[in-house]
Structure 1
């Protein structure tokens, strides 16, 4: 380092990290519309949840589910086969108005060895044959020149849920996963689609006695015997699969008790947990209800270690939100890979990012659009910031009634329900409407 020039040292001190590049890879149709003839019920193709499986042999594995059917997909690059070394030189036939392949075909190959253009038929084309024919004939050669991703459905898991599936979760053992509906949680083996095991059943003998339903279920990231599920009453239950085959009794209960005299008609509705996520280290659980984000420590079930206000400014509008059913919107949440930040969506295609480490008061509001800081620019009292300030913003969102964190009125017709944080990089994927936005800081 003593022999390094001053310019090199300055470059090391002020090196700007290169932002990742995202390219289109592939797409495929996961589910088709179905009809349940026994219940006379239409099943939409809409996908409720997607989960990544463990990679193997450079292949991607995906679990996807709609209301009733779960599918296990394998996405892998396959060589596109092409036919080359043709006997006939067809390049001259282009002058006669015909379209054909040359000895090194340039037509786009299909995954199964076909071609996007019509097959060549010698009888239907005016080709110049030399006098006396060809001295020798060569066999065409099949070559693989490029790789294309191909999706293949490996397993279909169906007819196991009477109610709509709301969540799926892969186990850390790489062999099993769970699926949950309003009243039951089933355990599956990835390689066996003919049977599943019911491990949680909250259905009462009399449906009139039903007081709460399951809203989300998630496996522990490292302990294959531990999972958590949330309920419509705001409770999170931790269960251990080693205790019994049917885990109706939880090992831990995480629940925040109401303050005396604060109960209202909307109390139970806004307390319903819409999503839970384990931190990568497995020590904490992040939960999202309608009004707040809560961070829980598995070793402390007396209450959340931190609460982050997301929709407190909407409390005066709960009656209106109930009338237009917006109060039942289910927002997801996510944590960064290092566990230092968490994020969740809101209305007007906004999402909030909070710092959750000790002494970190970060609270940033961004919009899922091409210009994420547009709403802040419209307000002259707010300083304009770039996306790189995502990691060091220290401003708390405003709590004005009926307005978002920047003083703007909410648009309840546009909502950001789905978002995910990259497990190792500081990037977030947000789904707003029919668009996907990637943010990197």
Structure 2
């Protein structure tokens, strides 16, 4: 029999636990919190040039830097504003830190092919010294960039003038001791490594390994393993190219390393499958260790089934226990210990199922939406059309449809949940599925690693939202 004091202690502990859980859920989930506008970056004109369209978004490991790549081959890095970071409550505000041209358009003379400068992916390396390092890739070439600060300069050289001109040795009559003077802060981005000529097809993924020494790059049919210090050699670890290309039935769509186990990687395919490979079992990972595939529902079978089941993105959770996959209509959560079916499935825009024919005709059905985890894996975010993006709370099972729109571009403006109606009668604040703008689409999103700050790329604008505390 329990003593009254033990019962009271247990009761108080239970209450304390529920209070803590509620606080955690409010900070990390989304059904219980409200989102508000923080910032928008980019021009607000209607005439958008193709080069300005954002093609990838990525926070670094502590969330202090946010990088975007665009179709013009540029990388723009934003830095967290120190005042906003330390204010109470915290604000998710970022300022431009560095802008540089990462890739230029090229021409493959052997195949008579133009190689776009568009940045397909950016991945940060964990910080080891005052400089920052990131990998960026277009369709063919991966580059390692070093981003460093300089706020001091050396004056009083013996062999050259202050403007850099070399002095005539005959004019040097006395020795000078160089001095270090403060200068205006300058951020320099310099290419440290160029990894080229290893992919026949377009690179769709890069992923840095947890050992921070190697990384993978994936194209439609192969995955290569690189060492960050070696540019002229890579190891082909997955090859699904058939002997006869007419027998080709699937392509690789995304690949990623496990966040903690350096020997494990996953890759998704256009057939709606995800394969987990263990590099310890064989040098060539053609034989997967696990295959994650959901049996198709015969009632939903249609001409478009194969297209919409293609997985456009796969992301392992920060804990390494789960992964999410994004197909055209839904986001699925998988447990790495269970291959048979996903443990959670969230419809993103099920109302488009009746519109697949017109989406096929305008090529929207081939859009590749990305997805991302919140910092503590309790929520998921992905994009949709009409500049809508969806946030799913795994704890409360609630979901939100929010819009990255210009008319809310005032700090701390609360985001109103949006609803799409499919029937004839439309309620207030609802939008008809026939009125959706399919030219406005949120393909790229990123979530701050430890706070409820999200970055959403809407064409040429980068929207930043945060929770309303």
TM-score by length of 1: 0.77
Measure, in 1, the Cα distance between the counterparts of 2:281 and 2:236.
Answer: 14
> Within 5 A, what are the aligned runs for 1:239-258?
239-258=277-296
In the TM superposition, residue 40 of structure 1 has moved relative to its aligned partner by 0.9
Q: Rg larger in 1 or in 2?
A: 1
SS of residue in 2 equivalent to 1:273: coil
2:455 to 426, 429, 438: 429
1:285 to 302, 307, 323: 323
In the TM superposition, residue 369 of structure 1 has moved relative to its aligned partner by 2.8
Q: Do structure 1's residue 60 and structure 2's residue 82 form an aligned pair?
A: no
Q: Do structure 1's residue 367 and structure 2's residue 391 form an aligned pair?
A: no
Residue 132 of structure 1 is matched in structure 2 by none
Residue 55 of structure 2 is matched in structure 1 by none
Q: Do structure 1's residue 414 and structure 2's residue 440 form an aligned pair?
A: yes
In the TM superposition, residue 114 of structure 1 has moved relative to its aligned partner by 5.8
- Report Cα offsets for 1:263-301 as digits up to 9, x if no partner: 211000000000011110001101101000111111111
2:241 to 187, 193, 203: 203
Aligned length: 364
Any unmatched runs of 5+ in structure 1?
Answer: 1-14, 85-112, 120-137, 375-384, 390-394
**Which deviates further from its counterpart, 424-433 or 229-238?**
424-433
- Report Cα offsets for 1:76-109 as digits up to 9, x if no partner: 112353769xxxxxxxxxxxxxxxxxxxxxxxxx
1:29 to 101, 104, 110: 101
2:414 to 374, 386, 408: 386
SS of residue in 2 equivalent to 1:339: coil
Question: For the Cα contact (< 8 Å) 2:250–2:270, is it kept in 1?
Answer: yes
Question: For the Cα contact (< 8 Å) 2:152–2:180, is it kept in 1?
Answer: no
Any unmatched runs of 5+ in structure 2?
Answer: 1-86, 157-161, 166-175
Measure, in 2, the Cα distance between the counterparts of 1:396 and 1:368.
Answer: 11
1:38 to 91, 110, 130: 110
Residue 225 of structure 1 is matched in structure 2 by 263
User: What's the Cα RMSD here?
Assistant: 2.9
1:351 to 370, 389, 397: 389
**Which deviates further from its counterpart, 195-204 or 138-147?**
138-147
Question: For the Cα contact (< 8 Å) 1:230–1:276, is it kept in 2?
Answer: yes
- Relative distance call for 1:206 and 1:143 in structure 2 (3 A) is same
Question: For the Cα contact (< 8 Å) 1:363–1:397, is it kept in 2?
Answer: no
Residue 173 of structure 1 is matched in structure 2 by 211
Measure, in 1, the Cα distance between the counterparts of 2:255 and 2:177.
Answer: 58
- Report Cα offsets for 1:49-76 as digits up to 9, x if no partner: 1111111212111100000000001101
In the TM superposition, residue 17 of structure 1 has moved relative to its aligned partner by 1.8
- Relative distance call for 1:399 and 1:191 in structure 2 (3 A) is farther
**Which deviates further from its counterpart, 431-440 or 139-148?**
139-148
1:164 to 202, 226, 231: 202
Residue 268 of structure 1 is matched in structure 2 by 306
Question: For the Cα contact (< 8 Å) 2:92–2:464, is it kept in 1?
Answer: no
Question: For the Cα contact (< 8 Å) 1:315–1:401, is it kept in 2?
Answer: no
The structure showing larger relative contact order (alpha-carbon pairs under 8 Å, at least 6 residues apart) is: 2
> Within 5 A, what are the aligned runs for 1:89-104?
none
SS of residue in 2 equivalent to 1:28: strand
In the TM superposition, residue 435 of structure 1 has moved relative to its aligned partner by 1.3
Question: For the Cα contact (< 8 Å) 1:373–1:386, is it kept in 2?
Answer: no
Residue 6 of structure 1 is matched in structure 2 by none
Q: Which runs of 4+ in 1 moved over 3 A?
A: 138-142, 370-374, 395-399
> Which protein is richer in strand relative to its size?
2
